[in-house]
Structure 1
Amino acid sequence: MRIALNARILQAPRTGIGHYLAELVAALVAEPDLELSLFHGWGWSGDLPAAAMPGYSRLTPWLRRVPGAYQARRWLEQRRFDQGQSQAIDLYHEPSLWPLAFKGPTIITLHDLTHLHYPSTQPAARLKEIERRLGQGVQQARLILTDSQYVADEAQRYFGLSRERFVVAPLGVAARFHPRSIEALQETLKPQGVQPHAYFLCVGTLEPRKNLSLALHAHAQLPEPMRQRFPLLIVGMAGWEHGQFSDELQKALATGLVRLLGYLPDEQVAQLVAGARALVFPSLYEGFGLPVLEAMASGTPVIVTRRSAMPEVAGDAGNYIEPDDVDGLRDAMSRLIDDQAHWLECRDAGLQQAKLFSWGRCAKVTARAYRQAMGG
């Protein structure tokens, strides 16, 4: 069975959906009856790109400013996609938002409905395209993959579709996320001026949905000696309208007790996750929450909000807070510093919870969905 996968998102520096696609493709290789053909926006290949397209980060802001740029790029991609359909494609899988036109069976992955809950997180032109095309894409798809039951349930209600149209394929955790010895962490952590298990970490694109301000306020409420010993590190690329954090973030950065590290290579992120005292992930909405799973697999306790899909991921291993509870987050951070027995319990519970997830399992569920959509 030849499967066409739209891999254009891998032109960009990899964040959530990019990591999903790369790991899924690697795991699908184990399915002997599948042959993958990857569409990269300008052509086709059987291989994943080794890195993002040079200059992509400069191109994206330009697209936001030019009227009709999204539509023009979409038209060109459709032309290129059509040219490759001579490969006798049996099924087309669109892993991100809305599919290109295809006459055969189509499957889409719907990771979340962020554009409904937080439309301000999307540039206006992109939001308009999502609203115009996502409904058509959902109707086009024979089956809709979701990362969590939460997203399957809310999409079923919103689009008025039957439960049978949805297949839940929980994400996995990459091999680079695993517990590491203190000695193995020193090389990465020393340039950041921190010691293993002596800092808090936030991971994610800088955008309002991630609720970074709660982490900043809670950390600021810790006693100063504690903040000196356990600074807050933030890893992630700038998102849409990230500037609204600028004053608050600049004040925190000026203290030297909060450090913005920006977008980092995957291996460096994995080491920072493994070395943290805890991952602080106070997001308002997630279709899954991949950093939570990655932290647990690394032996790092997690502090998360009891919202959207995150309880499905963290299970009993999560330290849960409300998304507006500064005192609750401060207390959770403080306890993970002062109570070593609690820290060890959270570490062990997270390691056990992470074992429930794997990219191999995600690939098997996805492959079964392919066969189902083909009538097998």
Structure 2
Amino acid sequence: MRIALNARILQAPRTGIGHYVAELVSALAHEPDVELALFHGWGWSSVLPEAAMPGYSRLTPLLRQIPGAYQARRWLEQRRFDQNQTQGIDLYHEPSLWPLAFNGPTVITLHDLTHLHYPDTQPPARLREIERRLTDGVQRARLILTDSQYVADEAQACFGLPAERFVVAPLGVAARFRPRAPEAINQVLKAHGVEAREYFLCVGTLEPRKNLTLALRAHARLPETVRQRFPLLIAGMAGWQRDQFNDELRASLAAGQVCLLGYLPDEDLAQLLAGARALVFPSLYEGFGLPVLEAMASGTPVILTRHSAMPEVAADAGNYIEPDDPDTLRDAMTLLIDDPAHWQACREAGLQRAKLFSWERCAKVTARAYRQAMGD
């Protein structure tokens, strides 16, 4: 099977969907009947591009201010895409939103329905594009891949589609997310001024949906001596409405109790995850919650909300909190500090849980979906 896969998202710094595309492409290389042609917006390639870093494009903020810019870029991408449609493409896989037009079977990946649940967490221009294109793309797709059963169920209800149109392909965990000895990660930890197991870590783009203000408020309710010993590190790009954090951050940043790390290289983030006391992940809504899986695979306990798809990932290995109650998060953090037996039990449960997920499994389910969509 020759599969056209839209890999344009890999031009941006890799967050959740970008990592999904990169890992899936690598894993599909081991499927003997799958040949990928990667479309990167302006042309085609057979190899993954290097991961971009923040600042990769200064045009994106400008495009948001130009009327019709999204539509113009879309038209150009469609023209480029059409140039290769006659070159033996059997199926088109759109791994994110807004599939291009293709005269053949199409499979899309629907990661979540954030725009329906939390429209205020999307920049207005992006929200308009989602609303214009997503419904049509879902209706045209032969099959719809989802990362979780939760998203499959809510998409069935939202779009009025039968269950057989959906295939659940849980995400995997990259090899870099693994337990590490303190001496193996000391250099990265030292660069950020922390010691192994003596900091909490948040991972995610700084945007409202990630609910990072809850982490800030909970951490601020810890005793002063505890905040000094166990600072809160926040790793992620500056997202939409980052200014919302200014009030909560100012005092904690000045005291050295909270540190904004920005977007980190993959290996640095993996080492920080392996060394944290716990991952704090208070997100309001996730179609999967990849950092939760990555933390568990790294031997680090997770604190998370029992909302959306996240319990499918963490199951009994998670420390669950209420998304609007900083006291429950403070108590969960305190327990993981004060009770070594509880911390160790959470670590072991997470390691066992993470073994159930792999990119190889995700690729096999995806390849079967390709065959099914082609009628084999």
TM-score bracket, normalised by the shorter chain, equals: over 0.9
Asked if structure 1 preserves the Cα contact closer than 8 Å seen for 2:5 and 2:92, the reply is yes
**Counterparts of 2:119 and 2:246, CA distance in 1:** 20
1:252-300: CA deviations, max 9, x gaps? 2122100000001000000000000000000000000000000000000
Q: What is the CA distance between 1:19 and its match in structure 2? A: 0.1
The yes-or-no answer on 1:72 pairing with 2:88 is no
Residue 161 of structure 1 corresponds to 161
Please say which of residues 116-125 and 334-343 is displaced more in the overlay: 116-125
Query: Using a 3 Å threshold, how does the CA distance of structure 1 residues 54 and 244 change in structure 2: closer, same or farther?
Result: closer
1:342/1:55 CA distance change after superposition, 3 Å? closer
The residue type paired with residue 72 of structure 2 is: A
Match of 1:109 in 2: 109
Q: Tell me which residue corresponds to 1:268.
A: 268
- The separation in 2 between residues aligned to 1:54 and 1:302, in whole angstroms, is 27
The question of 1:302 aligning with 2:310 is answered: no
Q: What is the Cα deviation at residue 21 of structure 1?
A: 0.3
**Structure 1 residue 210 displacement after superposition:** 0.5
Matched, 1:179 2:179: yes
2:17 is aligned to: 17
User: Residues of 2 paired with 1:228 and 1:103: CA distance?
Assistant: 60
Aligned to 1:194: 194
> Residues 67 and 251 (structure 1 numbering): CA distance in 2 closer, same or farther, change over 3 Å?
farther
Structure 1 pair 79/27, CA: closer, same or farther in 2 (3 Å)?
same
CA shift, 1:244, in A, is 1.8
The correspondence of residues 1-376 of structure 1 with structure 2, limited to 5 A, is 1-52=1-52, 55-376=55-376
Structure 1 contact 173–297 (Cα < 8 Å) conserved: yes
Question: Take 1:248 and 1:67, find their aligned partners in 2: how far apart are those partners?
Answer: 35
Moved over 4 A (4+): none
- The answer as to whether partners of 1:11 and 1:53 remain within 8 angstroms in 2 is no
Q: Is the 8 A contact 2:54 2:263 kept in 1?
A: no
Q: Give the partner amino acid of 2:170.
A: P
Q: Please give the TM-score of this superposition, normalised by the length of structure 2.
A: 0.99
Give 1:251 shift: 2.9
Deviation at 1:93, TM superposition (A): 0.1
Instruction: Quote the offset at 1:58 in angstroms.
Output: 2.0
Q: Which stretch of the first structure deviates more once superposed, 65-74 or 270-279?
A: 65-74
CA gap of 1:53–1:42, structure 2 versus 1, over 3 A, is: farther
Contact 1:200/1:276, CA 8 A, preserved across alignment: yes
Residue identity opposite 1:133 in structure 2: R
User: Aligned partners of 1:343 and 1:254: how far apart in 2?
Assistant: 30
**C-alpha deviations, 1:10-64, integer Å up to 9, x for none?**
0000000000000000000111011000000000010010132885342221121
Tell me if the contact between 1:64 and 1:123 (Cα under 8 Å) persists in the aligned partners. no
Query: Which amino acid in the other structure matches residue 237 of structure 1?
Result: M
Unaligned stretches of 5+ in structure 2?
none
Structure 1 stretches lacking a partner, 5+ long: none
Write the deviation string for residues 234-254 of structure 1: whole angstroms up to 9, x where unpaired: 000011122222222233212
Q: SS at the partner of 1:215? A: helix
Partner Cα separation in structure 1 for residue 92 and residue 359 of structure 2: 20
**Aligned to 2:86, what secondary structure does the other structure show?**
helix
Partner amino acid for 2:140?
Q
Matching residue's letter, 2:314: A
What's the offset of the Cα at 1:310? 0.3
Post-superposition Cα deviations, 1:341-372, rounded to whole Å, max 9, x if no partner, equal: 00000000000000010000000000000000
**Alignment identity in percent?**
81
* TM-score under structure 1 length normalisation: 0.99
Superposed CA deviations along residues 113-137 of structure 1, whole A, max 9, x for unmatched, are 0111111222211111110100000
Paired with 1:247 and 1:59, the residues of 2 have a C-alpha distance of 30
Q: For residues 135-160 of structure 1, what are the alpha-carbon distances to aligned partners after superposition, in whole Å with 9 as ceiling and x for unaligned?
A: 00001100000000000000000000
Cα distance in 2 between the residues matched to 1:228 and 1:113: 38
Q: Distance in 1 between matches of 2:87 and 2:44?
A: 10
